């Protein structure tokens, strides 16, 4: 899988796209794990994101054929050895290939 984020905590170009794997756990539920790199430190402090990596572990539910929602555990592994943990939620909508919204 690949993913991107629009989280306001990241400056433009600070975070790479994430890459990982996902698997079905039955019904409309899936698990996903992805990792991305943080390329430079944020100038703000706190919290101030630092150069390193981000790992996201998600529980995803397909709400219908065009929408999903997820809850996630997020870990930051800073180059200085510090690890930070948080949580996140996301929602998604299928892109329409016909130009019409579902």
Domain count, the chain: 1
In a domain, 80, yes or no: yes
pLDDT of 38: 95
Domain extent at residue 37: 14-93
Q: Cα-Cα-Cα-Cα dihedral of 26, 3, 9, 7, to 10°? A: -70
Summarised one tens digit per residue, pLDDT across range 24-34 is 999 999 999 99
Task: Kindly report the pTM of this predicted structure.
Answer: 0.81
Q: Average pLDDT over the chain, rounded to whole? A: 90
In a domain, 99, yes or no: no
Strand ranges (E), the chain: 2-3, 18-26, 29-38, 52-64, 67-78, 83-93
Q: 62 pLDDT band (50/70/90 cuts)?
A: very high
Q: 18 pLDDT band (50/70/90 cuts)?
A: very high
| Window from 14-18, 53-57, 97-101 with minimum mean pLDDT | 97-101
In a domain, 102, yes or no: no
8 A C-beta contact, residue 89 and residue 69: yes
In a domain, 74, yes or no: yes
pLDDT greater at residue 100 or residue 54: 54
Q: Is the dihedral of CA 78, 13, 48, 19 positive or negative?
A: negative
In a domain, 3, yes or no: no
In a domain, 8, yes or no: no
pLDDT of 99: 58
């Amino acid at each position: 899988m690949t993913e991107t984020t629009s989280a306001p905590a990241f400056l433009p170009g600070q975070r790479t796209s994430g890459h990982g794997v996902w698997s079905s756990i039955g019904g409309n539920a899936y698990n996903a794990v992805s990792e991305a790199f943080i390329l430079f430190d944020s100038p703000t402090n706190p919290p101030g994101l630092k150069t390193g990596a981000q790992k996201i572990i998600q529980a995803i539910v397909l709400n219908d054929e065009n929408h999903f929602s997820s809850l996630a555990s997020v870990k930051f592994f800073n180059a200085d050895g510090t690890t930070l943990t948080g949580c996140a939620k996301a929602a998604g909508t299928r892109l329409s290939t016909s130009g019409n919204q579902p």
